Amino acid sequence: MAYVPLADQELELHHPHSWVTKYVWSQDHKVIAIQYGGTAIAVGLVALVLSLLMRMQLGFPETFDLIDPNSYYQSVTMHGMIMVIYLLTALFLGGFGNYLIPLMCGARDMVFPFMNMLSYWVYLVSVIILMASFFVGGGPTGAGWTLYPPQTSLAGTPGHDMGIVLMLISLAVFIVAFTMGGLNYVVTVLQYRCRGLTMMRLPLSIWGIFVATVLGLFAFPALLVAAIMMLFDTLLGTSFFMPAVIESGTALDYEGGSPILFQHLFWFFGHPEVYIVALPAFGLVSDVLSTHARKNIFGYRMMVWAIIVIGLLSFIVWAHHMYVSGMHPYFGFFFATTTLIIAVPTALKVYNWVLTLWEGDLRMNAPMYFAIGFIFTFIHGGLTGLFLGNVVIDLPLSDTYFVVAHFHMVMGVSPVLVLFAALYHWFPKMSGRMYHEGMAKLHFWCTFLGTYAIYLPMHYLGIHGVPRRYYALGTTEFMVPATQDANTAITIAALFVGASQLLFFINIFWSLRSGKKADPNPWGANTLEWQTPETPPIHGNWGDKLPTVYRWAYDYSVPGAHEDFIPQNTPESEEPTVDAEHFDPDHDTSKADL
């Protein structure tokens, strides 16, 4: 039987009737997106508070008695795990993926809305399990976010009994949730686009989210297996990851396991995870930059291929996290080479963002501030990545604050700046109201300058050899006396940045109630989500008729057009195009005198 694509079918929609089916057990991708986003941000605030507790300890040792060494390690662990997985992954894919994929693809919803709803509720369960570990005996695990065995299960590590078990179960449950959502995102992008929307006309946001989801579907299995094996080790006393261990003079029952195996499994997940967070950020920031610069994205095809190549390469670089674990020099050579090769498509993207801004008609709205801020922090964090990718430079810098500074710049601050850019950019569509521009800009400057004040000094601390994960540094010979001063300064900056995030929440809550009513397309953007009949879009998104796409997403400032943007669903007969697919370099109209 011939299969009829959905864009050609008449569709019956099941509209929800009660408040509960509309907002709680909702199968609408937009509601699920907001549920995902709200939960992720809430749990992210927990992680933010944990980081401030750590900074209080480091900045003012022996002044505040907030945490002891055990809870310091627990804070490190939970802060890292929550930020990377439960906040960034969930917010980019569960939040923005859910919201934007059906809208930008011109679809009515995800392909399997029920499974999509299940994905959120299972995610919520994983968050609850994770939070439960704060309340069990022994507290959450303090093994570090990488959970390296054998120390995860040894008596000296806080949370070695219940904490680690809950952490592993929570991760496994999260992976189930992600798989249900992720399959939906991938199949929706592949199979549920509207008429005229080819893959090469998709906005880069969708490309980033799509490739990141594919990475997730192939990387999370390694973490799932590692979690199951470690659960066996912890609960059943098997020795997958546990070598023979002598603890306080007594030999434990473990024998013959391989701690390195865990590291391989963990980082086979862990490195693609970096790009699971980064690729959606790349995509979203491309759309924000292009829209507010009133210019087409520079090198659209190059950007798409860069996303794909980065995604592929991310699976063969994982051992660069394990240089100090010891490996054959040829392996070190291999992984250093692949790592440095990733810098090529990544740098390409950075050049293209900058060239998109070049001679653009920049509209300096708050999302644009955050997007440009991202370019700075990302270049910064990316360059230190080149240092750490080389084996010989990594060895002395490993486990120092240089590493902390690097990954916070590149996958902490940078994606978070994009998140804020995207939240401000799409807030008018999601809520139907405008945010407060001044407050948003103040929020940007506090966050941007504040994070530099936090992480720049950390590079110097790292080069001086200040080790990470230490509860207190005490009087250590090789450290310069200024170390403590720097730490104090960093802590003050961190408290400032933490507090200034209140601006964001005040802005959002104030705007939801009393913000100016938003225009359906306040930025003059081309992508489909701004062309919905209602703002915010209602269930089913498009009214009676699905949209038809006639052009790429980046027809900004096209010479001869009536306005400086042409929405994707404007027919070619009405407006000209400089679509990459129709671009003729001999008749380059974009260079014509404007």
Partner 1 sequence: MSEAAATGAAPAEGMTGLVDDWAADKQTYHVPWGKAMMWIFLVSDTFIFTCFLTGYLNVRMTTTDPWPPQSEIFALSFGGAPIPLILIAIMTFVLITSSGTMALAVNYGYRRDKFKTVVFICLTALFGATFVGMQAFEWTKLIVDEGVRPWGNPFGAAQFGSVFFMVTGFHGLHVSAGVIYLLWVARRIWVGYYDKKGYEIVEIAGLYWHFVDLVWVFIFAFFYLL
Instruction: List residues near partner 1 by CB under 8 A.
Output: 1-3, 5-8, 111-112, 179, 183-184, 186-187, 190-201, 217-218, 220-222, 224-226, 228-229, 232, 236-240, 243-244, 253, 255-258, 261, 264-265, 268, 549
The DSSP line for 222-253 is HHHHHHHHHHIIIII---SS----EETTEE-S
Based on CB atoms, which residue is closest to partner 1, 133 or 263?
Answer: 263
d(C-alpha 592, C-alpha 594), whole Å: 6
Is the bond leading into 536 cis (omega within 30 degrees of zero)?
yes
Give backbone dihedrals phi and psi of 469, rounded to 5 degrees, phi first: 65, 15
Residue 349, CB-side half-sphere exposure with 13 Å CA sphere = 29
CB of 215 to partner 1, least distance (A): 11
Residue owning tokens 């192939």: 218
d(C-alpha 289, C-alpha 378), whole Å: 15
CB of 218 to partner 1, least distance (A): 5
Say if residue 385 is exposed, middle or buried (CB neighbours under 10 Å; 0-12, 13-18, 19+): buried
CB of 8 to partner 1, least distance (A): 7
For the chain, the maximum distance between any two Cα atoms, rounded to a whole number of angstroms, is 83
CB of 568 to partner 1, least distance (A): 12
CB of 190 to partner 1, least distance (A): 4
Handedness of CA 61, 71, 233, 165 (dihedral sign): negative
On whether the CB atoms of residues 108 and 102 are closer than 8 A, the answer is yes
Based on CB atoms, which residue is closest to partner 1, 154 or 383?
Answer: 154
CB of 123 to partner 1, least distance (A): 17
d(C-alpha 424, C-alpha 97), whole Å: 16
**Strand 246-247 with 250-251, pairing:** antiparallel
d(C-alpha 65, C-alpha 82), whole Å: 24
Based on CB atoms, which residue is closest to partner 1, 181 or 412?
Answer: 181
- For the chain, the straight-line distance linking the first and the last C-alpha, in angstroms and rounded, comes to 53
Both tokens assigned to 94: 């569960």
On whether the CB atoms of residues 252 and 237 are closer than 8 A, the answer is no
On whether the CB atoms of residues 546 and 108 are closer than 8 A, the answer is yes
On whether the CB atoms of residues 96 and 102 are closer than 8 A, the answer is no
Give backbone dihedrals phi and psi of 444, rounded to 5 degrees, phi first: -60, -50
d(C-alpha 45, C-alpha 38), whole Å: 11
Closest residue by Cα to residue 422 from 211, 274, 281, 300: 281
CB of 5 to partner 1, least distance (A): 4
Based on CB atoms, which residue is closest to partner 1, 388 or 528?
Answer: 528
Based on CB atoms, which residue is closest to partner 1, 34 or 194?
Answer: 194
Q: Give the number of other CB atoms < 10 A from CB of residue 172.
A: 20
d(C-alpha 549, C-alpha 569), whole Å: 4
The DSSP line for 346-408 is HHHHHHHHHHHHTT------HHHHHHHHHHHHHHHHHHHHHHHHSHHHHHHHTTBHHHHHHHH
CB of 126 to partner 1, least distance (A): 18
Query: Rounded to the nearest 10 degrees, how much is the dihedral formed by the CA atoms of 135, 139, 144, 148?
Result: -110
d(C-alpha 398, C-alpha 408), whole Å: 15
Write the Ramachandran bin of 570: left for phi over 0, alpha for psi from -120 to 50, otherwise beta: beta
